[in-house]
């Protein structure tokens, strides 16, 4: 089909549309609308189009994979729902359907010429020479389970949708004055004199009377609430539990060794020494001394002023060196100094004193590693198959204890634990598999219910039954007396320092300085460095004060409190930018334009809902997540 499409479209349009397509593929991937869907259950209807359950599950799964890859932690569907990811993903699918139906209503068409140019301009389809490579094109389609016709149809669909949204939002441009005002607002800085009255620095407030303690206890009962505890029976199995019974034949190890030659290569390593000079002049002086035959160690310590323990870098692989040094180091001949090399650390002269060439591990060297890996892989495969049998047994009416005995799972009884993995005495419980995953499931399963068999991210499987749920409760005052007294004392200190702050602020009369009044009371005022409306976490200005100081006029005195104590501050100076740098103005204009386009896109899709009514089937959604 591709060969039949002739080229007439302009390159500028192609590039603009290709830029839009990157956004589409970044969110949806390629091939979603062509996947086979086994379920007809609809989680939402948009006009005449139904969004199916498995379509939403696929999109949510892809979003979870992207989040896990980015942040390194696995996120399960239940967490995704709590974080709002499921709702956000469904909203994206709805918006996409709205745009598709509006495209159909307007009868927007994308020419074959444009499709061909988009494909030919895609760098992912180009070969080493920079030209379109059909074999690479076919390989990428195959990897995504797409035929060429399906891919072309997908492009036609996506380009039309993006073209529609671009037409609706492209005219959004913020006036230049808006960027000026935003810069002046964001970059305004203020300076204040601050007196801190920390709770931790306050003296003893004594003991509460019985009536004071009872009143405090009654008013703050949530402080004395016990967490929910759950008791459950757990059956689990880890790869290590069955690995000892697995034998890997010698022939299979040798086959694996032959197939993994590339992985088993030991890369070249070099023993590198360096002279690190503080300036180019010192580096050139060191270079001249080496050329004259002076000793490397002597030149490093006397001319470069380098500590002797930083000269030898050790035996290193290429990737263990910074990029700026790796290239020169791995081109050097033995015992030949390099030219001076500049890096952010200074000026380096390198010397290689030993080279270990690349080599492939022998079978005997790799055997133990291969055996461990194949054994683990076989154990994981066996556990996966066993999980299905355990699930079937439980579905057939077997208890966890019976299934554990039949299939060799470890049975563990947990009498009571909170969601953090601590018993009522505050001691950490011990579990044979990943406690975080077990506890997450335990607190998502109802009393008396048995969960499905779950596979953890590390390979073990487990299933649990909730035997009892101990709801949260308020400890009686007698049992919580020590904690209640300590909490009363902290609260009393907060009240006291807050009153001190109020009195100090009242003592600062118009025309007087906070620092002088504070000094008379034996307190010290500290002048802050200039700070913005949104200071970073390292700022010395307490966040509780920032908004109040930005609402104040020079000379005004404000107070604020937080968990650490109370503060009194006097605004000393307001620093406003005199002009707006062109680079900052351009950046802000881009931000404002992007924000306006986003707002317009949201307004546009909301308007489409009037034409194509949206209905979300919450009962079906709750069944999925």
- pLDDT tens digits along 190-206: 999 999 999 988 888 99
- Spatial neighbors of 39 by CB under 8 A, at least 6 apart, are 52, 53, 54
The reply to whether 122 and 219 lie within a common domain is no
Check whether residue 62 and residue 166 sit in a common domain. yes
Q: Which backbone phi and psi does 597 adopt, to 5 degrees? A: -65, -40
Q: Is residue 310 part of a domain?
A: yes
Q: Please choose, from the candidates 532, 610, 595, 616, the residue with its C-alpha nearest in 3D space to the C-alpha of residue 105.
A: 610
Using the structure block, give the residue that is written with the tokens 């076919």. Answer: 138
Strand partners, 189: 575
Q: Is residue 105 very low, low, confident or very high in pLDDT (cuts 50, 70, 90)? A: very high
Sign of CA dihedral 581, 586, 591, 593: positive
219-266 pLDDT, tens digit each: 999 999 999 999 999 999 998 888 888 888 888 888 888 888 777 878
**pLDDT at residue 245, as a whole number:** 82
Residues 6 or more apart in contact with residue 353 via CB below 8 angstroms:
271, 272, 273, 334, 335
137 and 81 fall within a common domain = yes
| pLDDT for the residue numbered 69 | 63
Q: What is the pLDDT of residue 287?
A: 94
Backbone angles phi, psi at 526, to 5 degrees: -115, 130
For residue 369, the surrounding DSSP H or E stretch is: helix 363-395
Residue 112 falls inside a structural domain = yes
In the predicted model, is pLDDT for residue 500 greater than 90? yes
Same domain, 493 and 454: no
147 and 26 housed in the same domain: yes
Q: Note whether 393 and 445 are same-domain residues.
A: yes
Q: Residue 582 falls within a domain, yes or no? A: no
Which tokens go with 141? 């389609």
Nearest CA to 392 out of 381, 407, 412, 377 is that of 407
How many Cβ atoms are within 10 Å of 222's Cβ, its own excluded?
8
pLDDT of residue 435: 87
pLDDT at 21: 36
Closest Cα partner for 580 from 180, 190, 188? 180
Tokens of 414: 């947990």
166 and 33 together in one domain: yes
Give just the sign of the alpha carbon dihedral 28, 50, 83, 623: negative
Task: Tell me, yes or no, whether 194 lies in a domain.
Answer: yes
Backbone angles phi, psi at 283, to 5 degrees: -65, -45
| CATH number of the domain that residue 97 is part of | 1.10.4030.10
Q: Report the C-alpha gap between 211 and 206 in whole angstroms.
A: 14
119 shares a domain with 76:
yes
Give the angle 360-362-365 at the CA atoms, nearest 5°.
110
Note whether 505 and 241 are within 8 A (CB). Answer: no
Q: How far from each other are the two terminal CA atoms of the chain, in whole angstroms?
A: 41
Q: What is the pLDDT of residues 85-98, one digit of tens each?
A: 888 889 989 998 99
- The count of residues in the chain is 625
> Rg of the chain's alpha carbons, rounded to an integer?
34
3-state helix, strand, coil in the chain (%, to 5): 50, 20, 30
Domain boundary among 446, 471, 496: 471
Task: Give me the mean pLDDT over the 315-329 stretch.
Answer: 89
Identify the pLDDT of residue 299. 93
* pLDDT above 70 for 573: yes
Last-in-domain residue among 441, 471, 501 = 471
Same domain, 42 and 165: yes
HEC string of 8-45 equals CCCHHHHHHHHHHHHHHHHHHCCCHHHCCCCCCCEEEE
Q: Both 466 and 484 in a single domain?
A: no
What 8-state DSSP symbol labels residue 428?
B
96 within some domain = yes
What does the DSSP assignment read for 326-357?
Answer: HHHHTTPPBT-PPPPEEETTEEEEEEEEEEE-
Residues 299 and 313 in one domain: yes
Supply the pLDDT for residue 72: 55
Considering the domain architecture, whether residues 290 and 397 belong to the same structural domain is answered as: no
Coil vs helix vs strand at 524 = coil
Does residue 156 lie in a domain region? yes
Q: What is the CATH number of the domain that holds 341?
A: 3.10.50.40
Average pLDDT along the chain: 86
Per residue in 9-23, pLDDT (tens digit) is 333 333 333 333 333
Residue 307 belongs to domain spanning: 265-360
- 494-516 mean pLDDT: 95
Q: Is residue 251 part of a domain?
A: no
- Identify the helix (H) or strand (E) that includes residue 500: helix 481-507
Confidence of residue 402 (pLDDT cuts 50, 70, 90): very high
Does residue 2 carry a pLDDT above 50? Answer: no
Tokens of 279: 């300036």
Q: Do the Cβ atoms of 467 and 440 come closer than 8 Å?
A: no
| 324-352 confidence digits (pLDDT tens) | 899 999 999 999 999 999 987 889 999 99
In a domain, 598, yes or no: no
Tally of domains in the chain:
4
- Kindly report, residue by residue over 597-616, the tens digit of the pLDDT: 888 888 998 999 999 999 99
CA angle 345-351-353, nearest 5°?
135
Which tens digit of pLDDT belongs to each residue from 357-389?
Answer: 988 888 888 888 888 888 888 888 888 888 889
pLDDT of amino acid 12: 33
């Amino acid at each position: 089909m591709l060969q039949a499409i002739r080229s007439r479209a302009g390159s500028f349009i192609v590039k603009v549309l290709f830029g839009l397509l990157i956004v589409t593929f970044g969110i949806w991937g390629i091939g979603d609308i062509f996947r086979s869907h086994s379920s007809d259950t609809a989680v939402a209807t948009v006009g005449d189009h139904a969004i199916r359950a498995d379509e939403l599950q696929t999109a949510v799964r892809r979003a979870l994979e992207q989040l896990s890859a980015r942040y390194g932690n696995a996120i399960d569907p239940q967490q995704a729902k709590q974080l709002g990811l499921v709702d956000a993903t469904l909203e994206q699918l709805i918006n996409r359907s709205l745009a598709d139906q509006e495209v159909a209503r307007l009868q927007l068409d994308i020419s074959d010429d444009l499709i061909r140019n988009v494909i030919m301009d895609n760098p992912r389809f180009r070969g080493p020479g920079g030209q379109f490579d059909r074999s690479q094109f076919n390989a990428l389609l195959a990897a995504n389970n797409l035929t060429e016709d399906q891919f072309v149809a997908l492009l036609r669909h996506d380009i039309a949708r993006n073209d529609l949204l671009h037409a609706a939002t492209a005219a959004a441009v913020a006036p230049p004055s808006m960027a000026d005002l935003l810069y002046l607002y964001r970059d305004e800085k203020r300076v204040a004199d601050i007196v801190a009255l920390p709770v931790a620095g306050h003296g003893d407030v004594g003991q509460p009377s019985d009536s004071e303690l009872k009143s405090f206890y009654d008013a703050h009962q949530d402080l004395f609430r016990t967490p929910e505890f759950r008791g459950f029976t757990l059956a689990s199995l880890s790869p290590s539990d069955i690995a000892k019974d697995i034998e890997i034949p010698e022939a299979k190890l040798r086959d694996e060794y032959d197939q993994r030659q590339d992985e088993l290569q030991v890369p070249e390593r070099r023993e590198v020494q360096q002279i690190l000079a503080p300036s180019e002049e010192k580096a050139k002086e060191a270079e001249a001394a080496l050329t004259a035959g002076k000793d490397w160690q002597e030149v490093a310590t006397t001319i470069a002023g380098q500590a002797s323990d930083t000269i030898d870098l050790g035996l290193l692989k290429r990737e263990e060196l910074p990029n700026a040094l790796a290239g020169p180091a791995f081109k050097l001949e033995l015992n030949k100094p390099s030219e001076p090399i500049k890096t952010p650390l200074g000026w380096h002269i390198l010397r290689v004193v030993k080279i270990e060439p690349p080599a492939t591990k022998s079978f005997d060297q790799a055997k133990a590693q291969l055996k461990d890996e194949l054994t683990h892989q076989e154990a994981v495969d066996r556990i996966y198959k066993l999980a299905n049998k355990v699930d079937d047994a439980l579905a057939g009416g077997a208890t966890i204890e019976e299934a554990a005995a039949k299939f060799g799972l470890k049975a563990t009884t947990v009498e009571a634990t909170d969601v953090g993995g601590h018993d009522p005495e505050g001691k950490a419980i011990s579990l044979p598999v990943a406690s975080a995953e077990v506890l997450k499931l335990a607190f998502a399963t109802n009393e008396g219910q048995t969960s499905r068999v779950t596979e953890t991210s590390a390979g073990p499987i487990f299933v649990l039954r909730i035997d009892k749920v101990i709801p949260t409760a308020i400890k009686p005052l007698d049992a919580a007396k020590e904690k209640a007294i300590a909490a009363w004392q902290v609260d009393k200190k907060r009240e006291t320092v807050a009153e001190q702050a109020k009195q100090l602020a009242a003592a600062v009369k118009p025309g007087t300085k906070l620092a002088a009044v504070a000094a008379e009371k034996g307190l010290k005022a500290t002048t802050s460095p200039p700070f913005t409306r949104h200071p970073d976490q390292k700022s010395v200005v307490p966040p509780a004060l920032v908004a109040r100081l930005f609402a104040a006029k020079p000379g005004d005195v404000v107070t604020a409190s937080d968990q650490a104590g109370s503060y009194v501050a006097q605004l000393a100076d307001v620093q406003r930018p005199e002009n707006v740098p062109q680079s900052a103005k351009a950046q802000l204009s881009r931000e404002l334009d992007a924000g306006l386009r986003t707002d317009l896109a949201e307004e546009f899709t909301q308007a489409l809902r009037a034409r194509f009514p949206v209905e979300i089937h919450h009962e079906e959604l709750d069944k999925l997540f």
